[in-house]
Amino acid sequence: MRTFMPLLAALALILGSAQAADYPAPKPAQDTSQYGKHFQRTMTLMATSTPQRRHTVRILFYGQSIIGQGWHTMVVEDLQRCFPNTDFIVANKALGGFGSHFLVRTLHYDVIPFYPDLMVFHVYGPVDKYEEVIREIRSRTTAEIIMQSDHAHVWPEGTRDNPTPFADIAQKYGCSWQPQRWEWVDYLRDNELEPADLLRDEVHLNEHGRWLMAELLKRYMIYLPDEPQDEWKDTVRTYEVGEDIHWHDGRLSLTFTGNRVVALAAPGPGGVAASVRIDGTAPSAHPECYTFTRPSGTPTIGWPAIKKVTWRKPPVLESWEATCRDFNEDQTEFTFSVEGSATGFDGTGTTSETFVSNSGRIVIEPEDWVFDYDRRVGKKPAPDGFKVRWQVELLGTDAYAAPEVTDMAREYPTVLASDLENTQHTLELIAENGSLPALKALVVYRPPIGR
């Protein structure tokens, strides 16, 4: 049972669900010394939420097919029972079949824009690319990360004390390493089961395996109120209007170090606007504040048809479409043209070289196309003229219009700017027509490591 939780929440866990009663519960873990480590900012937000002040917690589940099997919903339901005064925003953006060498590309539109408080992560693939994923996220967000070890789909060799490169990565970047592999082995041995008894094929989980994976993570996520806060207390800072920062002649200024700033609305009339300036210019003038959305899917499996799209010239807000033609048999070679809703026709290219559009607003590397992978796995070719679509979004706003606050206990956030360089900036809000927007606070996010 999770420690340090309200009595009613603990009782809810004891009662459990009908599904939980179908399987023997795992015995207490042999070693809980790492439980709760390196994600206590998130746990503190949950544990200190009250009916009068509800915190918002953003959780992202990311990886490939094991993460994508849906067991995360049991974990979220458990958190909602234990911390009923927390407002959870949860996403699962796992991509089955995408190893670490693929996710190091897709994270740029999956993880960075979502900007989670906590990310639960598991993936197979090259260790160096795994480390690059972790380094990129820890340098561009304040997300705490639970790195899950593999489950035991076969009886593992060695002992639980054997070091792994992934545990070393966790230590290097201040992440949590959940050693579920050996807890999985303990469960199998305690209940006289074989690894295959929790699987539906050679590696993927059956219902019993999904339940166990959720149970092991649920008990791992504990609140440690006496844990030192040094590693996270300065990564996210809140500046209260009227206490830490003040309006002067219709202007509010804050010099901060970080890469993201969010406004929290106060009770008052909604819609009153103030211009936003970062270092003297609007967020839309900062190319780093733009992102591409995940491109539309391949025809058979539905994977993002392009792993990553970049630019050489600053983008503008618009929709993009690539039309693909003249595929060869294995779909490693084809031609394509791109067109933007604002830019218009922007050039043609082939998969034999890096494509840079006429405007410079679109760059696609040859290895980022996924049609050949979809062809190998799905066994069906993409049709001639297949279209791939994505959009440009601004991670911020040039004008802050306070939303209407209907529940004073809840947070009403508006992202003013995100994915800035993680350095010192000056934010200015300039009230229009002398009317001040209803602003409660500004929240600044500073990733723990440099890019």
E strand intervals along 266-331: 273-278, 290-292, 319-325
Q: Are 270 and 125 members of one domain?
A: no
How many whole angstroms separate alpha carbon 367 and alpha carbon 302? 18
Report which of residues 5 and 331 the model is more confident about. 331
Q: Tens of pLDDT along 7-46?
A: 233 333 333 443 555 899 999 999 999 999 999 999 999 9
Residue 66's domain comprises: 7-220
Q: Are 185 and 200 members of one domain?
A: yes
Q: Give the residue carrying structure tokens 């054997």.
A: 162
If residue 212 lies in a helix (H) or strand (E), which one and from where to where? helix 207-220
The pLDDT score that the predictor gives to residue 5 is 34
Full DSSP string of 82-143: H-TT-EEEEEE---TT--HHHHHHHHHHHTTTT--SEEEEE--S-HHHHHHHHHHHHHH---
Q: Is residue 280 over pLDDT 50? A: yes
The pLDDT score that the predictor gives to residue 272 is 78
Q: Are 360 and 409 members of one domain?
A: no
Domain annotation covers residue 129:
yes
Domain annotation covers residue 228:
no
- Average pLDDT along the chain: 93
Q: Tens of pLDDT along 97-125?
A: 999 999 999 999 999 999 999 999 999 99
Is 217 within 8 Å of 77 (Cβ atoms)?
no
Q: Are 118 and 240 members of one domain?
A: no
Q: Are 166 and 79 members of one domain?
A: yes
Q: Is residue 269 over pLDDT 90? A: no
The pLDDT score that the predictor gives to residue 431 is 93
Q: Are 53 and 145 members of one domain?
A: yes
Domain annotation covers residue 56:
yes
- What band does 271 get if pLDDT is binned at 50, 70 and 90? confident
- Amino acid residing at 299: P
Q: Tens of pLDDT along 127-177?
A: 999 999 999 999 999 999 999 999 999 998 877 767 789 999 999 999 999
Q: Tens of pLDDT along 399-448?
A: 999 999 999 999 999 999 999 999 999 999 999 887 899 999 999 999 99
Last residue of a domain, one of 172, 193, 220: 220
The pLDDT score that the predictor gives to residue 268 is 80
Q: Are 60 and 180 members of one domain?
A: yes
If residue 217 lies in a helix (H) or strand (E), which one and from where to where? helix 207-220
Q: Is residue 4 over pLDDT 70? A: no
E strand intervals along 241-385: 247-248, 251-265, 273-278, 290-292, 319-325, 335-340, 344-350, 355-356, 363-364
The pLDDT score that the predictor gives to residue 14 is 35
Q: Are 91 and 216 members of one domain?
A: yes
The count of domains in the chain is 3
The pLDDT score that the predictor gives to residue 159 is 75
- CATH label of the domain that carries residue 414: 2.60.120.260
pTM for this prediction: 0.94
